[in-house]
Structure 1
């Protein structure tokens, strides 16, 4: 039953009871009831007046200090906004409540529970696939190119080159590079067509040589004696013999060659002008349309591979989601400081966000209140708190009735 009807019924009961006692014969019991109903009628009417005065003018009469909520709606709205901003949503209270909440632990438990269901794991994989498919790679690549070029320009090329040369020398990469070059040279020099080519070049250059006197006679005699095949074979053998000597560890020529390579590397690492030109060349190269096309193609390949891997994972039930979640949880449990730091950062973000934007809630509350007319505001308040206020009227009538009984007894005494 509506509390307003109950409150009205209590007041009517007191009124009817009082009127009835007026027509009953005089006796102590009637007098006692009359005193109780009279006091209950006064108490119920007084509480009706008080409760009604909160929302409207009683009986439509503009009695002073009535219709309090409507007269003070601006003050009430400002008080609610002030309480919301300064008491309910201030930084200290939010921080304390969130710290008691143990956000990371609750979030971890919730995620583990959700990941235990297959449909949730599949949903995560579907979302990941959709997100990957919708990534605007072509729009992202220019930013990626700019980032790469910026990193190249900001990099200390000399320090990087010195570290690279030092790492190459300590790792014997210079020797490995030399051995690789010698192996390739030996393979090339061992080919029959290489010997023929070298013999042809040598024969041609000897023929073209313009040397007079005894030396000229000797050269011409040598050229007549040697043909292209013999010359090629001889040069080929000389090359192979020289390469074989350079391959042997500890060979003096090998050591001198390695020393020269290392000196050249160190010289390059210390050449600031050349390194600056190299940096600028790389940065310009990173911004070229060809580089953009290359990056787009590589990113498309990576995206396709990831989508295909996620599709296979869906067929297996999405166990990778559970594995990833367990890895993160184990990592956070093992790194307690990292977990605490992460929780502090999350809490700080939430608190700062709420503190920076809680005024919007006040603005929203004020706007909504301003949009409501008096009737709508009264109706809303009566729906929310009017029911509890009507019990004041019921209690007033009952308390008045009991007090009336007590007062009548006091009069008798």
Structure 2
């Protein structure tokens, strides 16, 4: 394996200790002997630390000495230890839920968006983005989107059922009688007008003259004014009778209206006409909505005001808290359901690495600190060796 830069300093300390020890051995001077003792101790300390550090990752000099290559041999235990710490401590369900609970994403998001709208540059970019998005959508596409969204709703609306409900509602609220009385009152007011009285009278006289020749000869004898007055009074009496709740004619007319209305509930022509109105009304509405959307997307002031109103509504309506609570509930459920996936993902990625890759990875990550262990071992050995050699010479 290529030697890493992090090991060079440690190797250099061993080289210095070895060179110093060999260089000072032939000399007998006391000072040189003290240095020799220091270099000897430095060499022993450096070699001992080199052996200890190397034994963590691999067999020293590739010799399978017992209790060496600790990390490769204990790969499974280390993996399980990492997963246990990950699942139960670092990223436990409780810690994740606590972190989720501390955050207020929706509120922060709304505040951030509001700040962007208060900033001229950001505001212009947002409005331009909305307009660009709107202009990129063809009119036919907008119509299709609206039509597709309304298709299910329109399909579920039964014209026959709606018409049946309308008729039932009319009868339940007696709107048929109220409408009938309203029309009779209006007709009565109309008939009481002098010019209408004259018009109706003359029309009836002309009708009699055209259809009944024998009666025509007697009309001048009676007098036109008397005939008009007679017809007018007859019409008013008929209207008064039709207004009377106990009148048989009134009951007959209302009964006829209700019978015909009930029949219309299943009348195919009526239902077909209602379906045509529904479809044509939907088509018209889609066109109008499409035109409205396109016009509003071209209005920068309208877009800005709409965004501001929407933000104000969201903040005042309490939607922020409601959405935040709902969002957090979803996250809680996801954590409960998929928390174990974190461990599985880490395990899968660890298992993808070979033992040599894991060893190399760990050695590189903590290589600087390990290097200093070896350097410190050599330096401490050197100092201790000097002290011991000095004491030995003194006592001799």
TM-score, normalisation: structure 1: 0.63
In the alignment, is the contact (CA less than 8 A) between 2:100 and 2:328 conserved in 1?
yes
Q: Is 1:52 matched up with 2:54?
A: yes
The 3 A distance-change label for structure 1 pair 405 and 303 is: farther
Question: Offset of 1:71 from its aligned partner?
Answer: 3.7
CA distance in 2, matches of 1:79, 1:39: 38
Q: Is 1:14 matched up with 2:1?
A: no
SS of residue paired to 1:25:
coil
CA distance in 1, matches of 2:390, 2:171: 111
Which residue is 1:325 aligned to?
311
TM-score, normalisation: structure 2: 0.65
Q: Is 1:25 matched up with 2:28?
A: yes
CA distance in 2, matches of 1:285, 1:45: 101
Point out the structure with max Rg over C-alpha: 2
Q: Is 1:346 matched up with 2:320?
A: no
SS of residue paired to 1:318:
helix
Which segments of 5 or more consecutive residues in structure 1 lack a partner in the other structure?
Answer: 208-218, 333-337
- Superposed, 1:144-183 pairs within 5 Å as 144-147=150-153, 179=182
Which residue is 1:211 aligned to?
none
SS of residue paired to 1:62:
coil
Which residue is 1:215 aligned to?
none
The 3 A distance-change label for structure 1 pair 305 and 53 is: farther
CA distance in 1, matches of 2:156, 2:65: 76
In the alignment, is the contact (CA less than 8 A) between 2:79 and 2:347 conserved in 1?
yes
CA distance in 2, matches of 1:302, 1:62: 81
In the alignment, is the contact (CA less than 8 A) between 1:121 and 1:321 conserved in 2?
no
In the alignment, is the contact (CA less than 8 A) between 2:41 and 2:384 conserved in 1?
yes
Which residue is 2:285 aligned to?
298
The one-character-per-residue Cα deviations of 1:349-394 (angstroms, maximum 9, x if unpaired) are: 2232244334444444344334444444444334433333333323
CA distance in 2, matches of 1:139, 1:294: 17
Which residue is 1:253 aligned to?
243
Matched length: 370
Q: Is 1:369 matched up with 2:350?
A: yes
Which residue is 2:144 aligned to?
138
The one-character-per-residue Cα deviations of 1:112-160 (angstroms, maximum 9, x if unpaired) are: 333333343344445545279387763674564434665889x999999
In the alignment, is the contact (CA less than 8 A) between 2:18 and 2:43 conserved in 1?
yes
CA distance in 1, matches of 2:119, 2:77: 51
Question: Offset of 1:25 from its aligned partner?
Answer: 3.1
- Superposed, 1:9-158 pairs within 5 Å as 9-27=12-30, 29-129=31-131, 130=133, 133=137, 138=144, 141=147, 144-147=150-153
CA distance in 2, matches of 1:70, 1:226: 130
CA distance in 2, matches of 1:236, 1:408: 150
Question: Offset of 1:346 from its aligned partner?
Answer: 2.0
CA distance in 2, matches of 1:225, 1:179: 38
- Superposed, 1:234-273 pairs within 5 Å as 253=243
Question: Offset of 1:93 from its aligned partner?
Answer: 0.6
In the alignment, is the contact (CA less than 8 A) between 2:188 and 2:236 conserved in 1?
no
CA distance in 2, matches of 1:125, 1:197: 71
The one-character-per-residue Cα deviations of 1:312-365 (angstroms, maximum 9, x if unpaired) are: 12x689354344334433444xxxxx6544333222222322443344444443
The 3 A distance-change label for structure 1 pair 26 and 310 is: same
In the alignment, is the contact (CA less than 8 A) between 1:35 and 1:404 conserved in 2?
yes
The match for 2:372 among 391, 394, 413 is 391
The 3 A distance-change label for structure 1 pair 7 and 195 is: farther
Which segments of 5 or more consecutive residues in structure 2 lack a partner in the other structure?
Answer: none
In the alignment, is the contact (CA less than 8 A) between 1:70 and 1:374 conserved in 2?
yes
The 3 A distance-change label for structure 1 pair 145 and 105 is: closer
**Once structures 1 and 2 are overlaid, which stretch shifts more, 5-14 or 121-130?**
121-130
